[in-house]
């Protein structure tokens, strides 16, 4: 343990949070209908649409984790018997397939090899074979550190009249995001990653087309808490500065979100994405120099928010992880069931800076030398 009394948190969420964000979490909690809070909530909804680059979208802020945001999209857009296509690049694609089945979807999964993406031709082929209502994909799969290019998937969605749902839990505010331009219908995330707020917020922006699809449902939404019938008027009220109530919002987390979104927009999305890219490239170069191999097969598909790294030959993974656990840097184990014991993960998003990268590399070097001896 360092003299600071804490370790450097370098996992792919939760991440290290800015002191200004943490400070408001400890401020006295106000009423969820207090004018200041209504203004904060409205600002958050407006700033989300800026970060997502979706000016005509409908933003939702819910108490819950990223899985709730996934659930909200599934619950509101799927009716029993609808066909859904899941483009899976890892663990979280599998989760989406299971989730959509709960709402009665007939799910087809297109699954990539670990570290790879699904070919666009395979997606187009599937769209030609079946009339899907919706397709989901994971922008950055946190189990593989593979990033998928949303633009051509958005285009396919438009061309084939299929709604597109982007799981951006490990990408939004760390990777490029142009929801409107790309034609993505739902882009969802959670607070604890590149958004920079402790766990507890499920965040989502829905396109006019997604809202239209929800309005045209023939059956009620099969999830009471997630139902947009309950939440749309609440979000609209907050944006218009009026008090409203359905379920008590997480007041302090929303106040923290306002601070973090302001910091994100002050940095500017372009500069922020460039910073993530620079630091990720620096981290990967150092990792490669040390003789490690990355899970993403193609460097162009390597995420800028985290890295997934195979243990080198001759190193026992559990020994390395045990040695890292004694260091001042916290990293994450593997997550993909089949490869779990063969790799580890390092998050580098949000407030991350160059010294964090250097400290992490140094800790990894030291752990390696300890387990090699
Ligand atoms: N999707 C992705 C890509 C994720 O990385 C995660 C969390 N690691 C989730 C979904 C689920 O989010 P949560 O753990 O906040 O429910």
Q: What is the mean pLDDT of residues 146-150?
A: 98
Pick the CATH number of 19-266 from 1.20.1080.10, 3.90.1300.10, 3.40.640.10, 3.30.70.3270: 3.40.640.10
Question: Which H or E run contains 148?
Answer: none
Q: What is the mean pLDDT of residues 224-245?
A: 97
* Residue 3 binned pLDDT confidence (cut-offs 50, 70, 90): low
What is the best residue among 92, 226, 308 to mutate for testing ligand 1's pocket, by most ligand atoms within 8 Å of CB? 92
Rounded CA-CA distance 157/185 in Å is: 9
Which atom of ligand 1 is closest in space to residue 70's alpha carbon?
A: 10
What is the best residue among 169, 197, 307 to mutate for testing ligand 1's pocket, by most ligand atoms within 8 Å of CB? 169
Q: What is the pLDDT of residues 56-71, one digit of tens each?
A: 999 999 999 999 999 9
What is the best residue among 96, 144, 148, 190 to mutate for testing ligand 1's pocket, by most ligand atoms within 8 Å of CB? 190
Rounded CA-CA distance 6/9 in Å is: 9
Q: Which residues contact 273 (CB under 8 A, 6 or more apart)?
A: 174, 175, 176, 304
Q: So where are the chain's domains? A: 8-15+269-372, 19-266
Rounded CA-CA distance 93/361 in Å is: 30
Q: Are 160 and 127 in contact (CB under 8 A)?
A: yes
Q: Are 132 and 86 in contact (CB under 8 A)?
A: no
Q: Which of 89, 91, 109 is nearest to 101 (CA)?
A: 109
At residue 33, φ and ψ (nearest 5 deg) are: -115, 10
Considering the segment(s) 8-15+269-372 as one domain, its CATH architecture is: Alpha-Beta Complex (3.90)
Which atom of ligand 1 is closest in space to residue 65's alpha carbon?
A: 15
Asked if residue 73 has pLDDT above 90, the reply is yes
Question: In this predicted structure, what is the pLDDT of residue 79?
Answer: 98
* Residue 235 binned pLDDT confidence (cut-offs 50, 70, 90): very high
Q: What is the mean pLDDT of residues 32-46?
A: 98
Alpha carbon nearest to ligand 1 atom 2, residue: 169
The mean predicted confidence, pLDDT, of the chain is: 97
Question: In this predicted structure, what is the pLDDT of residue 1?
Answer: 52
Q: How far is the CA of 169 from the centre of ligand 1 (A)?
A: 5
Sequence-ordered alpha helix ranges (H) in the chain? 19-25, 35-52, 66-77, 91-102, 120-129, 150-160, 179-182, 208-215, 228-240, 251-267, 269-289, 317-325, 354-372
Q: What is the pLDDT of residues 277-334, one digit of tens each?
A: 999 999 999 999 999 999 999 999 999 999 999 999 889 999 999 999 999 999 999 9
> Same CATH topology for 8-15+269-372 and 19-266?
no
Question: In this predicted structure, what is the pLDDT of residue 4?
Answer: 74
Question: For the whole model, what pTM was predicted?
Answer: 0.97
Q: What is the mean pLDDT of residues 122-151?
A: 98
Pocket of ligand 1 (CB under 6 A): 13, 65-67, 92, 138, 141-142, 167, 169-170, 190
Question: In this predicted structure, what is the pLDDT of residue 5?
Answer: 83
Residue 302 burial class via C-beta count within 10 angstroms: exposed 0-12, middle 13-18, buried 19 and up: buried
Q: How many residues does the chain have?
A: 373
Q: Which residues contact 202 (CB under 8 A, 6 or more apart)?
A: 60, 61, 62, 63, 64, 65, 66, 67, 68, 69, 72, 188, 190
């Amino acid at each position: 343990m360092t003299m600071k009394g804490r370790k450097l948190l370098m996992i792919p969420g939760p991440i290290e949070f800015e002191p200004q964000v943490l400070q408001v979490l400890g401020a006295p909690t106000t009423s969820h209908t207090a004018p200041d809070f209504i203004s904060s909530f409205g600002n958050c909804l407006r700033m989300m649409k800026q970060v997502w680059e979706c000016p005509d979208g409908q933003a939702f802020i819910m108490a819950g984790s990223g899985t709730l945001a996934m659930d909200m999209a599934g619950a509101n857009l799927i009716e029993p018997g609808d066909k859904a296509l899941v483009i899976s690049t890892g663990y979280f694609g599998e989760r989406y397939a299971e989730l959509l089945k709960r709402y009665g979807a007939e799910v087809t999964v297109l699954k990539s090899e670990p570290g790879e993406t699904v070919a666009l031709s395979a997606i187009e082929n599937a769209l030609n074979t079946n009339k899907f209502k919706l397709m989901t994909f994971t922008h950055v799969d946190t189990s593989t550190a593979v990033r998928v290019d949303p633009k051509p998937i958005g285009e396919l969605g438009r061309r084939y009249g299929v709604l597109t749902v982007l799981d951006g839990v490990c990408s939004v505010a760390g990777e490029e995001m142009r929801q409107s331009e790309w034609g993505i219908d739902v882009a969802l995330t959670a607070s604890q990653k590149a958004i920079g707020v402790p766990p507890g917020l499920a965040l989502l922006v829905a396109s006019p087309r997604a809202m239209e699809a929800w309005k045209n449902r023939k059956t009620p939404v099969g999830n009471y808490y997630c139902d947009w019938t309950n939440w749309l008027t609440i979000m609209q009220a907050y944006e218009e500065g009026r008090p409203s109530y359905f379920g008590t919002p997480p007041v302090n987390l929303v106040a923290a979100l306002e601070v973090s979104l302001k910091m994100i927009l002050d940095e500017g999305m372009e500069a922020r994405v460039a910073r993530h890219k620079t630091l990720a490239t620096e981290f990967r170069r150092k990792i490669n120099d040390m003789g490690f191999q990355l899970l993403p097969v193609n460097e162009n598909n390597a995420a800028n928010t985290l890295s997934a790294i195979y243990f080198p030959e001759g190193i026992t993974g559990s020994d390395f992880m045990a040695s890292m656990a004694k260091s001042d840097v916290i990293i994450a184990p593997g997550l993909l069931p089949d490869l779990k014991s063969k790799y580890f993960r390092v998050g580098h998003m949000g407030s991350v800076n160059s010294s964090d990268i250097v400290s992490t590399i140094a800790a990894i070097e030291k752990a390696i030398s300890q387990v090699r001896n």
